[in-house]
Amino acid sequence: GENNTGKKRPFGSTIRTFNDGSWNDAENDPANSNSKIVVQHIPSLPNDSEAAAILRRIHYEFKEIIERRKWNLLSITEMCCCGDGKDHTPHKRGGRKTKIMPNNVLGYNLTASSYTKTHEIHLRLRHPRTHALLDYESIAGTMCHELAHCVRGPHDAHFYKAMIEIEEQYAIYLAKGVVLDK
């Protein structure tokens, strides 16, 4: 995939896959300092276990970037043309209105600034209407984009610089073995 600068993403088609499943329980590990992040798919859609695994993998692969940059990420949830994973979280606040995004939106970062800046990232895991799962590379690229919104809201030069840094940092983590494959 390419980013907005026309440069090839550093991780592109070289993303390696997990083969030991150690990331499956990453968010439930008490030793994980980012265990406060809620990870939630939409359980009523087809292939819900695969969607849940994709979000757990995203959380596992990006948690070190999130921690090093000290971002206060509250959740990583699935968004779809027909709902939002946030509506299925155990700590759902009453009265929340589901935010349905246009079909061409692949994700969004809901940032709130009260006492501390917090972020909730919503990722599209499926094609609108068919609900077929998107490829993992596209979802990981969207995660890089949404994390850049932790730095800067508008899509300007500062934002794209942050996004490229995150993409490069992600590629380095993959190359250094954050993604386990033996």
Q: How high is the pLDDT of residue 133?
A: 96
DSSP string, 28-53: G-TT-TTTTSEEE--TTSTTHHHHHH
Question: Would you state the structure tokens that stand for residue 125, as one six-digit string?
Answer: 């895991």
**Is the pLDDT assigned to residue 145 strictly greater than 50?**
yes
Kindly report the average pLDDT of the chain as a whole number.
77
73-108 pLDDT, tens digit each: 999 999 987 766 666 656 555 545 556 778 888 999
Mean per-residue pLDDT, 45-72: 93
User: Under 8 Å CB-to-CB from 19, ≥6 apart: which residues?
Assistant: 180, 181, 182
| Lowest-pLDDT range of 27-31, 126-130, 133-137 | 27-31
Q: Which amino acid is at 21?
A: G
Q: How high is the pLDDT of residue 57?
A: 96
161: β partners: none
Whole-angstrom distance, CA of residue 182 vs CA of residue 170: 19
**Percent residues over pLDDT 90 in the chain:** 47
Q: Which of 23-37, 76-90, 141-155 has the highest mean pLDDT?
A: 141-155
Question: Would you state the structure tokens that stand for residue 116, as one six-digit string?
Answer: 């501390």
